[in-house]
Structure 1
């Protein structure tokens, strides 16, 4: 139960980083494809933040060296492809249906929440299996 609470807190931190990055992007850039660009940037920021937090606090994983850490991050990112499709589907879907930034962000938060539950299982089984909690 403690692990689930910590994971939820860390997922919330990564979600805030993602949505904040998106919001900052659309404030700075309002040209063509600004929504898609903001979601892409938010996804990247959220991915890096979540990797650092999961690696340290959830899976207590220590890479052997920088190359091993890079390989682990690539595998972590690949496991995130499916969950990113879920997240983007909700966020773009809410944008299409409601056409407001608040609803777009709500869709993003819902998609991230669903994706993070799935991502934990994938990461536990395939990415951090030697250091899994």
Structure 2
């Protein structure tokens, strides 16, 4: 895979996961806007985005050919741990934007910025620690 293809795919998958994340957040925030609803929205959105991104990355970015429930459970667990590291970047940025401006558009801008930085870090962590069965050919 060329560097250009890798970047375009990864960016498209990040956008897809981000849009799903934000859609879930918006749906939950329609119910209420207290701190509890905000936390529920951020958490649920993150879970949905994580699941979508894992499925797309596994197949189309890292070309994972591993089989078996144990293998996939191990990889998804590692993927989730790596996501936990980078989710702090996302949550911190989104929450800071919400606390500063207290508007949905600014909260979402903070989410997009935080996710963008987080995804760049996450790609490198996943490549190094999660999808190790078959290394990518091409750019490191």
Q: Point out where structure 2 has 5 or more consecutive residues left out of the alignment.
A: none
**Residues 1:42 and 2:45 aligned together:** yes
Please state how far the C-alpha of 1:32 moved relative to its aligned partner: 5.5
1:78 maps to which residue?
81
Runs of 4+ with deviation above 3 angstroms: 28-32
**Residues 1:102 and 2:108 aligned together:** no
Please state how far the C-alpha of 1:29 moved relative to its aligned partner: 4.4
Please state how far the C-alpha of 1:131 moved relative to its aligned partner: 2.7
**Residues 1:14 and 2:30 aligned together:** no
Please state how far the C-alpha of 1:63 moved relative to its aligned partner: 2.8
Q: Whose helix proportion is higher, 1 or 2?
A: 1
Q: How many residues of Structure 1 are paired with residues of Structure 2 in the alignment?
A: 133
Structural RMSD (CA): 1.2
Q: TM-score, normalised by structure 2?
A: 0.90
Q: Does structure 2 conserve the Cα–Cα contact (< 8 Å) formed by 1:61 and 1:132?
A: no
Of 121, 126, 129, the residue aligned with 2:129 is 126
